[in-house]
Structure 1
């Protein structure tokens, strides 16, 4: 369904976090799909809807920098939690294009950018999922001579960025082939020649080192197989890479996923996918000692330490969940993002720094120059929350209002439908 922004909206006397820094209360005017003006005592246009921002904070719509998105319901769920853009990190091209096209037409869905098929060696990760029936067969890259054609095919698929798998299987207990450095460099070069940014799947220090040395733009996970040495941290900063820590996903591989706390938060639970809630409740009932996602030699504490040290060295951090919502996978679209923000703060970021990781930083890293900030002329993707998330990051869960391209998102109707259905049981 298509929607329209309709009459202008004036948000009065609201504290603003513009994506990088806070501002004292002021007015913000939305006109159509864009922010028309930001400043004190703005005049209300004829017919404008006026929203009282007193005691509230306005910030850019959130951006999940690492998802796997396969249907529009996932984008609808994400939007209900304040996420106005998702960056997909790999999926079936035809499905990804269809979902992205739906998001372009509909303002009841989060916007989407897609990677389509990621680059990997023959038999490399995630080829093991093909044998399990979780993925369809996909093209691979045998050597540097294949790189240009592979990237050209991804552009033809409609890719907005390129995913590169740098995974030898040591982190997941399944040794597998790894592309050579020459091949990875050729992929990065071919992507950059076509205007695509590159993000590398890296769970280990060795794979992170290889990615950085080969010139990738960013790491889709923080290294989690042990403590990073100072040289790796310094080189990440010197090469200008970004890092998506995906701490929520990594804690999901343990006996105490971050999601356990999320499902008990009344600000979040009513909007979550009932199937996901049932899965998390089942996992919690299983209790300690259950293997969640296979034999994984990765620890979220190492990833959190690496992410914080890299950030302190000047590396941009981007908030991302690796959200899928599949069976046995604890992170999902929307609700898990709020766990990621809390984990970033627990790792040592200030709430303001975590909110930059959720807004301006991913917009900058992926060249989305029309969003990620509260400024005149940018998209009216905006989140209004009760209280001050700069002192309490969980305040971002208390959503008072939400706009996608200037269109108000109807969370009330969704909540009424959920309440009519009764409680979700596992």
Structure 2
């Protein structure tokens, strides 16, 4: 029988500044009272008995940051992104994911979407398993919104045999692992992910820059298949995120009712206006267009990146200017896990103010995942709190200097 845990005493966090993310203003001599896993007061006038006061000094308190596109099962401790599908088993990948999860949390990101496995697992949803282990306190990591396996056609962008250009039958994959063709199979693939714990569905609506099977923006699923995927997910109350780059493919995704476009590198002004009007989210993953290591990529893929990435950077700027709802996503390990602040810097470089970039990683991201319990420092919300050195509204780069991380009232970095 488990021993009852001794309740933790209330904690008062004191800092030089606290950012009111909604007003875009600092509360000087900011303080947050935490009881259990929740914030109970900002600038408390009186303290409960036995309150522990922690003076964090000359730092800025922020809501826990959120990354809306990561793949924790890829990328190792040295920040490489090995794709060795015939040498690594699901146990190794899950242990790697645990290490990457800890690194991500300690960098100030307390919530992530793990957006689509594309590895052979025998149908096991590794990100769901990791989420359970984190929620139970077995390992340290952010709150995870898992997608299970990405839904992709044979030869599609997230067909793992495509990346390695494997010969036929070297690595058989199943519908349960997301390889699905035709309306019946895509419905089955979505239902399987939902059955075993997916809380968002990831679909490949177009090719990608790192795809061997055609141009970056080519639409991969038919309109009918996209509508079937959305229908299955929405009836279960789950949103759909689409890896999508080409303008025509993005329009097809929007017409199908997809909730979030990942990358959107080649969107036209008209399509961006439509996204803004409909409130469709864009996870622009714009830092990778400058920081992604392509030295080991095939020459034809390097050439494709050289053509597409400059266009992608301009698209992100146009999306920001047109008022598209941009949520922060790194696509780690396209940039290394634990370096999410680089995406904040890149968003500012593309035209956001530092406050807008911080909102992309907090309140906008919270809206994307329908999480009303986080994204702001307010009474009643989860005590997901980060402290960074300096003034992020003047210099967004200070978000890379994280001094303190609390998730759900527990301290993970101090």
By how many angstroms is 1:307 displaced? 2.2
Q: Distance in 2 between matches of 1:359 and 1:119?
A: 27
1:104 aligns with 2:135: yes
TM-score (norm 1): 0.79
Structure 1 residue aligned with 2:189: 150
- 1:78 equivalent to 2:81? Answer no
In structure 2, the CA distance between the partners of 1:249 and 1:135, relative to structure 1 (3 Å rule), is farther
- What are the superposed Cα offsets for residues 81-125 of structure 1, whole Å, 9 maximum, x if unpaired? 111111101115432222111111227322211101122223322
CA RMSD in angstroms comes to: 2.9
In structure 1, runs of 5+ residues without a counterpart are 256-282, 325-329, 412-426
The 3 A distance-change label for structure 1 pair 131 and 373 is closer
Residues 37-76 of structure 1: matches in 2 within 5 Å? 37-39=41-43, 41-52=44-55, 55-70=58-73, 71-76=97-102
- Rounded to whole Å, the distance in 2 between the matches of 1:162 and 1:5 is 37
Match of 2:355 in 1: 352
Q: Secondary structure at the match of 1:409?
A: strand
Measured at CA, do residues 136 and 58 of structure 1 come closer, stay the same or move farther in structure 2, by a change above 3 Å? farther
1:234 to 273, 276, 285: 273
Q: 2:229 aligns with which of 160, 169, 187?
A: 187
Please report how far the alpha carbon of residue 128 of structure 1 lies from its aligned counterpart in structure 2 after TM superposition.
Answer: 4.8
Kindly indicate whether the alpha-carbon contact (under 8 Å) linking 1:188 and 1:216 is maintained by their aligned counterparts in 2. Answer: yes
Contact 2:157 / 2:211 at 8 angstroms: preserved in 1?
A: no
Shift of 1:351: 0.5
Change (3 A) 1:390 1:242: same
Q: Could you tell me which of 137, 140, 149 is aligned with 2:173?
A: 137
Corresponding residue SS for 1:379? coil
After TM superposition, the structure 1 stretch with the greater mean CA deviation from structure 2, 177-186 or 9-18, is 9-18
CA contact (8 A) 1:248 1:331 kept: yes
CA distance in 2, matches of 1:5, 1:316: 40
Deviation digits for residues 128-162 of structure 1, max 9, x if unmatched? 53673798724233223444333221111210100
CA distance in 2, matches of 1:58, 1:312: 28
Mapped partners of 2:315, 2:162: distance in 1 = 32
Q: Which of 326, 331, 349 in structure 1 is aligned with 2:335?
A: 331
Match among 139, 146, 150 for residue 114 of structure 1:
146
Distance 2:397 2:403 in 1: 14
In 1, Cα distance between the equivalents of 2:208 and 2:125? Answer: 28
CA distance in 2, matches of 1:13, 1:294: 46
**Secondary structure of the structure 2 residue equivalent to 1:220:** strand
1:291: how far off? 5.3
CA contact (8 A) 1:222 1:246 kept: no
The number of aligned residues is: 369
Deviation at 1:54, TM superposition (A): 5.3
1:360-383 deviation per Cα after TM superposition (whole angstroms, max 9, x unaligned): 111111112211111111111100
Query: Are residue 7 (structure 1) and residue 33 (structure 2) matched?
Result: no
TM-score normalized by the length of structure 2? 0.81
Greater per-residue helix proportion: 1
State the partner residue of 1:202: 244
Which residue does the alignment assign to 2:204? 165
C-alpha distance in structure 2 between counterparts of 1:162 and 1:323, whole Å: 18
How far the C-alpha of 1:250 sits from its partner, in A, is: 2.5
